[in-house]
Structure 1
């Protein structure tokens, strides 16, 4: 092998190393896990799964849609539609299992999980990325809102000052009524003597 060939090979190896360094790897891909079959005994235990879910929610929150998902051998998840407002696409789940050669289903876990078309919060974006697209117009609008905020502070201060004066007036009225009642009490004592 000539020097030129060894330089080309070294350059290619360096460029491949740089490319692979930019993308994180998770190791060599392994065998894909086969989908487990749904256990017949656990599939028939829909009433057990529903009873488990009813411990954390009401009957009205469980819809009519029902799915089964085989997790592992003797481990099955029942999925029921969630009808709560704001939870479109979410499912109540109850994971059931059974011991070998047993015909009795046991509840492992219950909860609420999002489906494929569920409404989810958008991904978090760092503030530095969000602020990249701020224009001068946006900054001017912020200045306008700061002026409005100052005006609102002044209005609130004026209102709180008015409210602070109201109790004083009420206190003055109560002091006057107290003095009048004391005067009438003194007059009654003098007339009784």
Structure 2
């Protein structure tokens, strides 16, 4: 019993460290461009935690950041759509406008789709299929998987929305546990591509 408690505390501490490094490398990438490298680093660090490899979480993040720091377009699109959607939702609470509502629904829809696409992309970029690691092919595969595995995509969206409510509970809990919890919960939803 004592070993299980120590193992649980150690795992929670490692998840907290991984969440901390996610935000460090996200800001290191300039917040706008660091989303993909930070997400891939989080996947690699979570794998090292689960495999109980004596591998530093910081080293996993550093290697992923250096390898994938040129994936700026996806990070920019997801960040831009998220900010515009949040502004439109906030603005619609202040001002009632039918024109804003007309544009708001597609904007929020594309933002949700971009986040689902982001989850698939970081998993496929973190563990590329054998024989074809070209980024264009991986982006196309992620898009195809979003559409073909519609039920999985809906589960990923529900997971992302549920985790985003952690910010209402406690900001520190969200900062340290939302990123690793997202990877932990979506790990088995995203199919392994061989």
Query: TM class by shorter-chain length?
Result: under 0.3
TM (norm. structure 1) is: 0.20
TM (norm. structure 2) is: 0.20
* Higher gyration radius (CA): 1
Higher strand proportion, which one?
Answer: 1
Higher helix proportion, which one?
Answer: 2
